[in-house]
Structure 1
Amino acid sequence: MKKPLAYRMRPKTIDQVVGQEHLVGKNRIIRRMVDAKMLSSMILYGPPGTGKTSIASAISGSTKSAFRHLNAATDSKKDLQIVVEEAKFSGQVILLLDEIHRLDKPKQDFLLPHLESGLVILIGATTENPYISISPAIRSRCQIFEVKPLSSTDMQKALNRALEDKTDGLGELPIVIDESALLHLSRSSMGDLRGALNALELAALSTPPNENGNIKITLAVAEECLQRKALVHDKDGDAHYDVISAFQKSIRGSDVDASLHYLGRLVEAGELTVICRRLMVIAYEDINFGNPNAVQRTVSAVQAAQMLGLPEARIPLAHAVIDLALSPKSNSSIEAIDRALQDIRDGKSGDVPKHLKDFHYKGAEALGRGVSYKFPHAYEDHWVAQQYLPDSIKQAVYYKPAVTGKYEQALSSQLKKRK
């Protein structure tokens, strides 16, 4: 039985990895490990289909190391013992362990000494936050790297490679793919390359040749095989981003009907992840202190939508959109942090005032650290006037309250009192 296209197209060397430049690009950490042949155990975490297994496979191929693939949830301690015995025989084994967050204590205890000795190079893969879901014993012996969703450009590069590859890909087939179909596969998979490749293979194998003997993959075919509709059938593919942009701008502009219209387009296209992420951005960027309760309600609505999935997710999503569109607006938070960041990037930072520096070590007092610090809780209203910013920017003002919304008016009043 022929293996799926996504499996066949896994990179065989680090140079073939698509995306993840922050890890495998020139002079980046995993690339350095491979070039120096100085591997260490690691945990890769990120959404499904973003390349965790591919990176592990590429590391093995580039270093010519033995490679084994197990699942922490379904494979037994006996399977781990077999891998360790092989490592003793060959010198070292790279072990990709899927769902590492489900590794139980007996398996952990067995693996730990072999990670310490370097006999087994563990590459744990998980979609969960490793700082929460993975035991400290394993975490302390691994470097932790986030694997990010692939960009549309990276996705197109990988899809084109699969279409051209005559050995492992679809290059032997007479495929003619419309640009709009390729754009849809690359953009509507939301960074999940495995899903896009599976849809491409299904389209290629299920579409009969036309009168010219070509397998024509149109946008309609791509929509059906991916089970996501394109937002509109435009030539340049910009509609995907145009609708998302219009969605945020309509909420920011307090037009509730336009906001619901663009939400409907995104729901119809199956863009649940995009909607949830964008609503969270809108809540904190555009509503902010104008209606902080609406911000928290949006977080709850997004969580409910993710648990329900489409089509039911449309209900809490509509609730959040109406709430945000009709809320007082404020962008004071994003403007405040951007002002602070601009000063830092312009070199305006300076030394931390001595009375704020850490003094929990021997000799700190002699250096004048923390000596004149005033503990706010010891004063009336738990506040006392003292300098917190460095001398060079002690007059800097970053937060400038908006005048909309009762909550921010209260913040403004408190700020004036403290000033």
Structure 2
Amino acid sequence: MDLFTQHQKQPLAERVRPKTLDHVIGQDHLVGPQGIVRRALAMGAVPSMILWGPPGIGKTTLAQIIAETAKMPFETLSAISSGVKEVREVIQKGRLRGKLLLFIDEIHRFNKSQQDALLGAVEKGWITLVGATTENPSFEVNAALLSRCQVYILKNLSEDGMLRLLKQAVSLDEDFSQREIEIKETKALFQIAGGDARKLLNLFEVVVDTFDKSEKVLITDELVTHNAQQRVALYDKQGDQHYDIASAMIKSIRGSDPNAAVYWMTRMIEGGEDVKFIARRLLISASEDVGNANPTALVIANNCFQAVSAIGYPEARIVLSQCVTYLACSPKSNAAYMAVNMAQRKIRETGSLPVPLPIRNAPTKLMKDQGYGKGYKYSHDYPGNFAYQEFMPEGLEHETFYSPGDNPRENEFRKRLKFYWKEKYRY
């Protein structure tokens, strides 16, 4: 292979990009034997859809496979570089051809007028829209367009999925299949990749290419870590470090380090990150990490989001800095976050338990005759606005989901709850 050909060689992630649903790893809920996308393709009824998930897990690949399997013309647009003009040109193609699949990468970056331009074409069936986004579509996609699409969530790969992906890459790639490759250790590969298939394959290729083609390739954690450190990249809002640096900011806030938190926030700003993306992460952290230890944090974070949405860059950096440092310096509690997690686990374990009759709504005589609302005590009629009664469903009478954190404000919560509920809950 000459130097020019070597330079032109596609990355491994591109060379082994799946061509069929059977080669897609880690999304069985969509493409497995009973997967909703596979069943839709089998029935010949492919809906418009939004593919929501982190980067590097195959949203573009899945769109291409859907178009190929359904025998539909495939057009793609990037929300970063395309405007209303390009959207209308593709819609016109769909109108003339009868139907095509339009894939829009990072659809959350389309503004309202760009998204509105798609509505009529989707409704008339000129295009089947497949939008890809790393952001919650409920926040970033117009309600009218979202109501016309199915939302499918793609997941990061598990460790088992990442290992299967590596083995599949070795067997399918023309170059790697001719080499002796032993994956002795995987911890560093999996840790750095974090479930991102593209990042995993790119790193794997870098490590393999450190060996001469005549050598046996032995993948170890030490070798992977060394090569990863040699290839530390600048922040790229479309690249793999997008979520790594956002994670670093949140972990710095959680760890009460305002200096590190503002550093990582500024790395994102200097990299051209959308200020609303940063503010949205701060909103989450205000509840997840600060919580009831300082409820004002959520107010500050919400005001921060509203402010940066109104003023934009560059002034938004000042508001973001104020919010980041406030959250980092606040007392911390994840008690509310843990409470909802525990409640979700219990609900999945016990199912839909019936609401106790005394606290059911009783708008009709029939319901009252059946005991709905009977025995309910209106708390405000009692001293301290509290009446001891049962609100939990049968079987969960003593379950404790919310356990106040160890901080001044939540210690007051605990004291009050113990006074009211005595030994009923574990406070």
Q: 2:56 matched to 1:59?
A: no
**Counterpart in the other structure of 1:262:** none
> Which deviations, in whole Å up to 9, do the C-alpha atoms of 1:63-86 show, x marking residues without a partner?
232222211221233332333233
Give the 3 Å change call, closer, same or farther, for CA 380–152 of structure 1 in structure 2: same
TM (norm. structure 1) is 0.64
Give the 3 Å change call, closer, same or farther, for CA 344–203 of structure 1 in structure 2: closer
Name the SS for the 1:19 alignment partner: coil
Write the distance in 2 (CA, Å) between the matches of 1:195 and 1:403: 38
Write the distance in 1 (CA, Å) between the matches of 2:41 and 2:82: 28
**Counterpart in the other structure of 1:417:** 419
Give the 3 Å change call, closer, same or farther, for CA 209–93 of structure 1 in structure 2: same
How far is the alpha carbon of 1:190 from its aligned partner?
0.7
Write the distance in 2 (CA, Å) between the matches of 1:228 and 1:413: 53
Q: 2:145 aligns with which of 113, 130, 138?
A: 138
Q: Aligned runs of 1:223-234 on 2, under 5 Å?
A: 223-227=225-229
Q: 1:201 aligns with which of 196, 200, 205?
A: 205
**What amino acid maps onto 2:138 in structure 1?**
Y
> Which deviations, in whole Å up to 9, do the C-alpha atoms of 1:279-328 show, x marking residues without a partner?
x99x979x998xx359x79xx9xxxxxxxxxxxxxxx99x98x999xx9x
Write the distance in 2 (CA, Å) between the matches of 1:31 and 1:52: 15
> Which deviations, in whole Å up to 9, do the C-alpha atoms of 1:363-385 show, x marking residues without a partner?
x4553366986665677655455
Give the 3 Å change call, closer, same or farther, for CA 347–217 of structure 1 in structure 2: closer
Write the distance in 2 (CA, Å) between the matches of 1:79 and 1:403: 53
Residues 209 and 216 of structure 1 are in contact (CA less than 8 Å); yes or no, is this contact kept in structure 2?
A: no
Write the distance in 2 (CA, Å) between the matches of 1:358 and 1:137: 35
Q: 2:33 matched to 1:22?
A: no
How far is the alpha carbon of 1:214 from its aligned partner?
4.7
Name the SS for the 2:176 alignment partner: coil
Write the distance in 2 (CA, Å) between the matches of 1:32 and 1:352: 40
Identity, % of aligned positions: 29
> Which deviations, in whole Å up to 9, do the C-alpha atoms of 1:249-297 show, x marking residues without a partner?
xxxxxxx9xxxxxxxxxxxxxxxxxxxx9xx99x979x998xx359x79
**What amino acid maps onto 1:57 in structure 2?**
Q
The CA RMSD over aligned residues, in Å, is 4.6
Write the distance in 2 (CA, Å) between the matches of 1:107 and 1:196: 34
Write the distance in 1 (CA, Å) between the matches of 2:361 and 2:392: 12
How far is the alpha carbon of 1:388 from its aligned partner?
2.7
Write the distance in 1 (CA, Å) between the matches of 2:73 and 2:126: 11
**Counterpart in the other structure of 1:128:** 135
Q: 2:194 aligns with which of 190, 194, 202?
A: 190
Write the distance in 1 (CA, Å) between the matches of 2:189 and 2:152: 27
Q: Aligned runs of 1:304-315 on 2, under 5 Å?
A: none
**What amino acid maps onto 1:398 in structure 2?**
T
Give the 3 Å change call, closer, same or farther, for CA 157–354 of structure 1 in structure 2: same
Q: 1:345 aligns with which of 336, 346, 349?
A: 349
Residues 40 and 143 of structure 1 are in contact (CA less than 8 Å); yes or no, is this contact kept in structure 2?
A: yes
**Counterpart in the other structure of 1:117:** 124
Name the SS for the 1:27 alignment partner: coil
> Which deviations, in whole Å up to 9, do the C-alpha atoms of 1:178-230 show, x marking residues without a partner?
422x543233211111112222333444x3527x455665545433443389x
Q: 2:391 matched to 1:388?
A: yes
How far is the alpha carbon of 1:335 from its aligned partner?
8.3
**Counterpart in the other structure of 1:306:** none
Name the SS for the 1:11 alignment partner: coil
Residues 95 and 122 of structure 1 are in contact (CA less than 8 Å); yes or no, is this contact kept in structure 2?
A: yes
Residues 188 and 228 of structure 1 are in contact (CA less than 8 Å); yes or no, is this contact kept in structure 2?
A: no
Residues 17 and 58 of structure 1 are in contact (CA less than 8 Å); yes or no, is this contact kept in structure 2?
A: no
Residues 102 and 128 of structure 2 are in contact (CA less than 8 Å); yes or no, is this contact kept in structure 1?
A: yes
Give the 3 Å change call, closer, same or farther, for CA 215–418 of structure 1 in structure 2: closer
Point out where structure 1 has 5 or more consecutive residues left out of the alignment. 230-255, 257-276, 301-315
**What amino acid maps onto 1:226 in structure 2?**
A
Write the distance in 2 (CA, Å) between the matches of 1:403 and 1:107: 46
Q: 1:94 aligns with which of 96, 101, 111?
A: 101
**Counterpart in the other structure of 2:12:** 5
**What amino acid maps onto 1:115 in structure 2?**
V
Q: 1:165 aligns with which of 166, 172, 186?
A: 172
- Alignment length, in residue pairs? 340
Residues 353 and 388 of structure 1 are in contact (CA less than 8 Å); yes or no, is this contact kept in structure 2?
A: no
